[in-house]
Amino acid sequence: MVNFMKVLVVYDSVSTSKVTMKVAQTIAEEMKAKGLETDCLYCKDLGKEKVKGYGSLIVGAPTMAFRPSRDITEFLDSLEAEDVKGKKGAAFDTQIKSALSGNAAKGIEKRISGLGASIFKPHLVAYVEGKGKNSWELREGELENVKKWAQEAAEAILAE
């Protein structure tokens, strides 16, 4: 029996600013504050065996070259339907606010949905801005958006 109340947030984060990691941690904190048992792990720190222990899977990455970053793509490639099927799934990304940005979250959402997760909340986009030398930060107001998204996501899980 899948326990949706056990939530795994998996992320990649590439720059030294670790913006996507901060977004992932914020999502996990909000989930915990709503009473959900939540772990937040870097995608290279877990194998697919670990994924099996959770009922809800939230996956996020920076958008790089218009798509999900390399390491989250490798993580998704390592998953099979038997690891994901029947779980609740959702995706998020960080990206620049531009018509040409691409969207990692959409790609992740499609992948986990293709593996049999049911998407319980449309993906979250958190916009960043460059601060020079591959240094990034969330744009004004984005952290509040992330918290709101996470609270709504937690409520959607709790409503099951």
Ligand X SMILES: Cc1cc2nc3c(=O)[nH]c(=O)nc-3n(C[C@H](O)[C@H](O)[C@H](O)COP(=O)(O)O)c2cc1C
Per CB under 6 A, contacts with ligand X among 94-113 are 94-96, 101-102
Nearest distance from C-beta of residue 105 to ligand X, angstroms: 11
26 binds ligand X per the rule CB under 6 A: no
> What is the token pair recorded at 19?
């913006």
Q: Say whether residue 135 binds ligand X (CB under 6 A).
A: no
d(CA 1, CA 121): 21
19 binding ligand X? (CB under 6 A):
yes
For the chain, the first-to-last Cα distance in angstroms comes to 14
Of the listed pieces 15-23, 25-33, 79-87, 110-118, which binds ligand X according to CB under 6 A? Answer: 15-23
CA dist 27 → 56, 69, 134, 142 (Å) = 13, 19, 24, 12
Return the structure tokens found at 29.
């904190």
Binding site for ligand X (CB under 6 A): 13-15, 17-21, 62-66, 94-96, 101-102, 128, 134, 136
